[in-house]
Structure 1
Amino acid sequence: MQSDNLETGQEHRTVEFLDTDPGLLAAAVRAQLAGARAAGLDCDQLLLDSGIDPTLLDIPDSRVGREQVAKLLRREWDLLGDESGGFLSRPWIPGTFAMMGHACLSCPNLRRALLRSSRFVSMVSDDLQIKLVEDGEEARLLIHHGNLKQLPNQIFVESLAVIWLRFFSWLIDRTILLERVHLAFPPPDYNEDYSDMFPCRHYFHQRETCLVFSTRYLQMPLVRDEQQLAEFLARAPECLLTQYKSDNSYTGRVRRMLAGQNGIENLSLDDVAARLYTSPQTLRRRLKEEGNSWQDIKDSVRRDIAVYQLKKHETAVAEIAERLGFSEPSAFNRAFKKWTGLAPGAYREKYRG
């Protein structure tokens, strides 16, 4: 993450970052300084050197501009000699993230790149693990921080999740659309920014922190070269602080509509097409162009709801099946096993046991 250091836009071509700068909530910036504070740095002076008034961090709902935050992070990393900001027991010396980026660049697809990044992290860290797990049609990127320094580390884990999501989306030139994100933390003071950090459903107080997305992304090839990577790293960390563009793909809009209903069967394809001011035929065509179908999206939302109900509630499997519009529990059981590789009862036992 420095000058040889450390996008995301639409579902298909050209992944970009927003040009606007709403800034980061001051609460998030204050949390980011935990490592520097523990190392004995003068954080007020660090803020002033970065063009940030220290008193701003004590004002509720105040925001700090992206350029100032980027300058703050660069200054902090330089003083600490650590791109993790002091959160890891073994510092990430300047250039660590860049080296990982170069190591991943030769991978043929996203799956191999994520696996390589996981191995790289295990080689340079004693208390950080990043792991890719595939369950049926779902992929989960798990981030576990052992936190040997016993610091308030929620912002560090969240930041890593955002960085991995944005960097690997950039590598494949596709926005990796998340199904949901699980966080092994309570909601933070800055959780109003979560819709920009993670444009999906957020579940707090979970057993593990992970990003959940479709396995179809794992087959996608990396399309960047050394020159593009060098240019990307030269813009870091500004580019990775920039929020996602809103997901205006048809896939994203359809998914939000279905997920927002009390019952997923309440909206038909015709209903959704009408709300999008288009015809059912055109909507089907647009979804196909984005690599999805109406049924794919319905199944994705059904899976998300089912997983949440099985993990967090005692709702009977038959009742979940009925809520999701399945004609009988056996049909739901077959579908759920296809999605996750486990029957509903076995899934509940595994993740709640």
Structure 2
Amino acid sequence: MVSPSSTPEHAPAQGRAETPIAFIQAIVAAYAQRGLDAGGALEKAQIEPKLLKKNNTRVTAMQMELISAIAMQELDDEGLGWFSRRLPWGSYGLLVRASLTSPTLGLALSRWCRHHGLLTEDIQLSLSERNGIATLQLDEVRDLDVFQEFCVVSVLRNALGVACWLTDSRIPLTATHLRFAPPVHADSYRVLFDGHTHFNAPTNALQFDAGYLALPVRRDEAALQQMLQRALLLTVRPYRRDRLLVEKVRQTLAQYPEHSRNADDLAAWLNMSARTLHRQLKEEGASLQELKDAVRRDVAMMQLQRTSRPLKQVAEAAGFQNVKSFIRAFKGWTGTSPEAFRQQQLR
């Protein structure tokens, strides 16, 4: 898990109890592995010890976040006993930082998989793409024993959470594959992973639309520092907003303007109705007009910065039918005229 910079404050458990007690049992086993007592961590997370004997009970996401953060610090192990060597505090934060400068999610996840191998050789992560489906695979190199389920689920959910955070987008899964048999709490997997979960699979893997791999990484160092304050939320709580359609529309507007004359043409190109296009963009926090303006602005600014074309040609390239409307729109975007903007770039 990506670790927070400090232990979360002691707080009452909140939300629905959906997290399997098996994960708490695994954390207690990690304490026992080190010859330590987990009683203090259980108390701070308000988890009654008697619940550990009830294999089909659950705890809340808040309780899971609390005890995980406490255990990581007390054991100085972000792997929580999963691997043959400890992962010192801050290990997963370094992985995020190493992926932060990637231009796209695809490269960021490839780096994540490669660098994870520097932390431990007990598991191997890999990213592949085939027939429009991206697969994030986790291979178990060593027998994970009692930690298998907790480790596999946590590492995969953490990688997915980081991917969502890097792109500021919800990434819905098309399928989840897990090597182990269905546990007694198998119904919890409808919350742990969306899409269909396949148990007794040949390997562990998450699958999703490969289009997400082209999403740009939207985060920077300042955002990382803020995220690390509550990083465990990436693992225990799902990301809400999906930005894939926004990026598809943006790319279509920029690369295929002939298919973007109006909402009906664009929707047909994207194999959906105009009504669905508007509705899904609204759900993603955008509108077609906003995206059109953003693409036109980017094209115009690039033309003014990199070419000496007359304004009429710049206006046409940006999708305007006349110079007057282009100048009016450009002033609305930047607060200055196209000519003044071009002169500023030459200074």
Range into which the TM-score falls when normalised by the shorter chain: 0.5 to 0.7
Call closer, same or farther: CA 1:150–1:25 in 2, change over 3 Å.
closer
Call closer, same or farther: CA 1:221–1:238 in 2, change over 3 Å.
closer
* Greater shift in the superposed pair: 41-50 or 73-82: 41-50
Question: Contact 2:16/2:60 (CA < 8 Å) preserved in 1?
Answer: yes
Supply the distance in 1 between the matched residues of 2:150 and 2:177 (Cα, whole angstroms): 14
Instruction: Give the number of the structure whose alpha-carbon radius of gyration is greater.
Output: 2
| Residue 22 (str. 1) matches residue 5 (str. 2) | no
Which residue matches 2:122?
127
Which residue matches 1:160?
155
Supply the distance in 2 between the matched residues of 1:125 and 1:5 (Cα, whole angstroms): 24
Aligned-partner SS, 1:189: coil
Which residue matches 1:228?
223
Q: CA deviation at 1:49?
A: 4.3
* Greater shift in the superposed pair: 281-290 or 38-47: 281-290
Aligned-partner SS, 1:153: helix
Which residue matches 1:53?
48
Call closer, same or farther: CA 1:205–1:5 in 2, change over 3 Å.
farther
Call closer, same or farther: CA 1:286–1:80 in 2, change over 3 Å.
same
Question: Contact 2:56/2:184 (CA < 8 Å) preserved in 1?
Answer: no
Aligned-partner SS, 1:108: coil
Which residue matches 1:178?
173
Which one of the candidate residues 135, 138, 144 is aligned to 1:140? 135
Which one of the candidate residues 102, 105, 113 is aligned to 1:107? 102
Supply the distance in 1 between the matched residues of 2:6 and 2:235 (Cα, whole angstroms): 11
- Mapping for residues 234-245 of structure 1, pairs under 5 Å: 234-245=229-240
Deviations 1:20-77 (A, max 9, x none): 7213232332234333333322234442343321112223553323333222112222
| Residue 187 (str. 1) matches residue 182 (str. 2) | yes
Aligned-partner SS, 1:202: strand
AA aligned opposite 1:75: I
Supply the distance in 2 between the matched residues of 1:246 and 1:32 (Cα, whole angstroms): 31
Call closer, same or farther: CA 1:148–1:36 in 2, change over 3 Å.
farther
| Larger RCO of the pair (alpha carbons < 8 Å, separation 6+) | 1
Deviations 1:71-94 (A, max 9, x none): 211222222221000111121110
Question: Contact 1:87/1:156 (CA < 8 Å) preserved in 2?
Answer: yes
Which one of the candidate residues 255, 261, 283 is aligned to 2:276? 283
Give the length in aligned residue pairs. 250
Supply the distance in 2 between the matched residues of 1:5 and 1:106 (Cα, whole angstroms): 25
TM-score, length basis structure 1: 0.63
Which residue matches 1:3?
4
AA aligned opposite 1:21: G
Q: CA deviation at 1:281?
A: 5.2
Which residue matches 1:69?
64
Supply the distance in 2 between the matched residues of 1:243 and 1:180 (Cα, whole angstroms): 16
* Greater shift in the superposed pair: 232-241 or 155-164: 232-241
Call closer, same or farther: CA 1:126–1:154 in 2, change over 3 Å.
same
Supply the distance in 2 between the matched residues of 1:177 and 1:66 (Cα, whole angstroms): 20
Please list every run of 5 or more consecutive structure 2 residues that lacks an aligned counterpart in the other structure.
8-13, 246-271, 285-347
Deviations 1:140-159 (A, max 9, x none): 00012323564441121011
Call closer, same or farther: CA 1:25–1:245 in 2, change over 3 Å.
farther
Q: What is the RMSD of the two structures over their aligned residues, measured on CA atoms? A: 3.0
- Mapping for residues 305-324 of structure 1, pairs under 5 Å: none
Question: Contact 1:147/1:153 (CA < 8 Å) preserved in 2?
Answer: no
AA aligned opposite 2:276: L
Aligned-partner SS, 1:86: coil
Supply the distance in 2 between the matched residues of 1:139 and 1:280 (Cα, whole angstroms): 26
TM-score, length basis structure 2: 0.64
Please list every run of 5 or more consecutive structure 1 residues that lacks an aligned counterpart in the other structure.
7-19, 251-278, 292-353
Supply the distance in 2 between the matched residues of 1:122 and 1:239 (Cα, whole angstroms): 21
Supply the distance in 2 between the matched residues of 1:30 and 1:150 (Cα, whole angstroms): 13
Question: Contact 1:5/1:236 (CA < 8 Å) preserved in 2?
Answer: no
Supply the distance in 2 between the matched residues of 1:5 and 1:119 (Cα, whole angstroms): 27
AA aligned opposite 1:103: A
- Mapping for residues 268-347 of structure 1, pairs under 5 Å: 282-283=275-276, 286=279
Supply the distance in 2 between the matched residues of 1:66 and 1:289 (Cα, whole angstroms): 29
Which residue matches 2:345?
none
Which residue matches 1:213?
208
Aligned-partner SS, 1:139: strand
Question: Contact 1:21/1:242 (CA < 8 Å) preserved in 2?
Answer: no
Call closer, same or farther: CA 1:69–1:117 in 2, change over 3 Å.
same
Q: CA deviation at 1:285?
A: 5.1
Deviations 1:249-307 (A, max 9, x none): 99xxxxxxxxxxxxxxxxxxxxxxxxxxxx9652365468889xxxxxxxxxxxxxxxx
